[in-house]
Structure 1
Amino acid sequence: MSTDRYDVIIVGSGAGGAATAYRLARAGKRVLMLEKGRRLPCDGSTLDVKQVFAEGRFKNKEPWRDGRGGSLVPEEYYNVGGKTKWYGAALLRFSAHEFEADPEHQCLAWPFGLDVLAPYYDEAESLLHVNRFANEPELQRLVERVTQSDAGWRSEALPLGLKPEILNDEREAKHFDGYASVAGYKADAEHNLLDEIADLPNFTLMARRKVIGLMHRRGSPEVVEGVICRDGSYFTADKVVLAAGAMTSPRILQDHLDATGVGETLPSAPLVGANFKLHINSALVAFSPFAHNDVLRKTAIFLNERYPHTTVQCLGWLDGDILATQLPRAVPKFVANAIGARAIGFFITTEDGSSPANRIVSGGGEEGTPTADYDLDRLPPAKAEHAAAIGDFTRRLLRAGLAGVDRYAGLAGSAHALGSLVAGDDPAASVVDADGKVHGMDGLYVGDGSVLPRSSRVNPALTIYAWGLRLGEHLAH
Structure 2
Amino acid sequence: MTAKHDVIIIGSGAGGSSVAYQLALAGKQVLLIEKGPFLPRDASTLSVRQVFVDGVFKNHTVWHDAGGRDVVPSEFYNVGGKTKWYGAALFRFRPVEFEAEPDFDLLDWPFGYDELEPYYDQATELLRINTFTNEPELQALLDRITTADPGWKLEPLPLGLSKDILTNPDEAKHFDGFASPSGYKSDAERNLIDHIRGRPNFKLIAGDPVAELVAAPGDPRRIIGVKCADGSTHEAQTIVLAAGAMTSPRILQDYLRASEITLPCGDLVGANFKMHMNSAVLGFSPFKDHDVLRKTAVLFNDKFPHSSMQCLGWIDEELLATQVPPEMPRFLDRFLGKRAIGFWATTEDSSSPQNRIISGGPGGQPVMDYSLDRMEKARKEHQALVDAWIDRLLHAGLVGFEKYMGLAGTAHALGSMVTGSDPSKSVIDPHGKVHGMEGLYVGDGSALPRASRVNPSLTIYAWGLRLGKHLAATG
Q: TM-score range by the shorter chain?
A: over 0.9
- C-alpha separation between the residues in 1 aligned to 2:382 and 2:79? 33
Report the equivalent of 1:296.
293
Q: Displacement of 1:178 after TM fit?
A: 0.3
Deviations 1:418-444 (A, max 9, x none): 000000000000000110000110000
- C-alpha separation between the residues in 1 aligned to 2:342 and 2:323? 13
Report the equivalent of 1:434.
430
- Report whether the alignment pairs 1:311 with 2:308: yes
Secondary structure (helix, strand or coil) at the match of 1:94 reads: coil
Report the equivalent of 2:21.
22
- C-alpha separation between the residues in 1 aligned to 2:406 and 2:321? 20
- Report whether the alignment pairs 1:117 with 2:113: no
Report the equivalent of 2:250.
251
- C-alpha separation between the residues in 1 aligned to 2:327 and 2:257? 50
Q: Displacement of 1:146 after TM fit?
A: 0.9
- Report whether the alignment pairs 1:411 with 2:407: yes
- C-alpha separation between the residues in 1 aligned to 2:260 and 2:112? 35
- C-alpha separation between the residues in 2 aligned to 1:61 and 1:463? 27
- C-alpha separation between the residues in 1 aligned to 2:82 and 2:426? 25
- Report whether the alignment pairs 1:279 with 2:279: no
- Report whether the alignment pairs 1:351 with 2:355: no
TM-score (norm 1): 0.98
* 2:364 pairs with one of 344, 358, 368: 368
Q: Displacement of 1:334 after TM fit?
A: 2.6
Deviations 1:359-398 (A, max 9, x none): 0001012x01100000010011100100111111111111
- C-alpha separation between the residues in 2 aligned to 1:271 and 1:331? 45
Q: Displacement of 1:299 after TM fit?
A: 0.4
Deviations 1:12-67 (A, max 9, x none): 00000000000000000000010000000112100011111111111000010001
- C-alpha separation between the residues in 1 aligned to 2:117 and 2:350? 23
Give the 5 Å matches for 1:76-475.
76-262=75-261, 264=262, 266-365=263-362, 367-475=363-471
Please report the RMSD computed on the Cα atoms of aligned residues, expressed in angstroms.
Answer: 0.7
More displaced stretch, 330-339 vs 163-172: 330-339
Q: Displacement of 1:337 after TM fit?
A: 1.2
Q: Displacement of 1:212 after TM fit?
A: 1.4
- C-alpha separation between the residues in 2 aligned to 1:145 and 1:170? 27
Q: Give the length in aligned residue pairs.
A: 473
Amino acid at match of 2:51: V
- C-alpha separation between the residues in 2 aligned to 1:42 and 1:469? 26
Deviations 1:324-383 (A, max 9, x none): 122333433332111100000000000002000000001012x01100000010011100
- C-alpha separation between the residues in 1 aligned to 2:41 and 2:463? 29
- C-alpha separation between the residues in 1 aligned to 2:398 and 2:328? 22
- C-alpha separation between the residues in 1 aligned to 2:291 and 2:54? 27
Amino acid at match of 1:194: I
- C-alpha separation between the residues in 2 aligned to 1:69 and 1:345? 33
Deviations 1:251-286 (A, max 9, x none): 000011111011x2x100010000000000000011
- C-alpha separation between the residues in 1 aligned to 2:18 and 2:449? 19
Secondary structure (helix, strand or coil) at the match of 1:237 reads: strand
Amino acid at match of 1:7: D
- C-alpha separation between the residues in 2 aligned to 1:230 and 1:138? 51
Query: Closer, same or farther in 2 for the Cα pair 1:167/1:198, shift >3 Å?
Result: same
Secondary structure (helix, strand or coil) at the match of 2:221 reads: strand
- C-alpha separation between the residues in 2 aligned to 1:128 and 1:393? 31
- C-alpha separation between the residues in 1 aligned to 2:160 and 2:323? 27
Amino acid at match of 1:118: E
- C-alpha separation between the residues in 2 aligned to 1:67 and 1:111? 30
Deviations 1:105-162 (A, max 9, x none): 1100001000000000000000000001010001111111111111211110000000
- C-alpha separation between the residues in 2 aligned to 1:384 and 1:333? 35
- C-alpha separation between the residues in 2 aligned to 1:332 and 1:384? 34
Amino acid at match of 2:336: I
More displaced stretch, 433-442 vs 331-340: 331-340
- C-alpha separation between the residues in 2 aligned to 1:210 and 1:449? 19
- C-alpha separation between the residues in 2 aligned to 1:217 and 1:447? 22
TM-score (norm 2): 0.99
- C-alpha separation between the residues in 2 aligned to 1:316 and 1:328? 21
- C-alpha separation between the residues in 1 aligned to 2:341 and 2:90? 21
- C-alpha separation between the residues in 1 aligned to 2:70 and 2:158? 36
Q: Displacement of 1:399 after TM fit?
A: 0.5
- Report whether the alignment pairs 1:37 with 2:33: no
Report the equivalent of 2:45.
46
Amino acid at match of 1:466: A
Amino acid at match of 2:452: S
- C-alpha separation between the residues in 2 aligned to 1:272 and 1:330? 43
Amino acid at match of 1:280: M
- C-alpha separation between the residues in 1 aligned to 2:279 and 2:366? 25
- C-alpha separation between the residues in 2 aligned to 1:368 and 1:228? 19
- C-alpha separation between the residues in 1 aligned to 2:209 and 2:296? 37
Consecutive unaligned residues of structure 1, counting only runs of 5 or more, are none
- C-alpha separation between the residues in 2 aligned to 1:257 and 1:51? 38
Consecutive unaligned residues of structure 2, counting only runs of 5 or more, are none
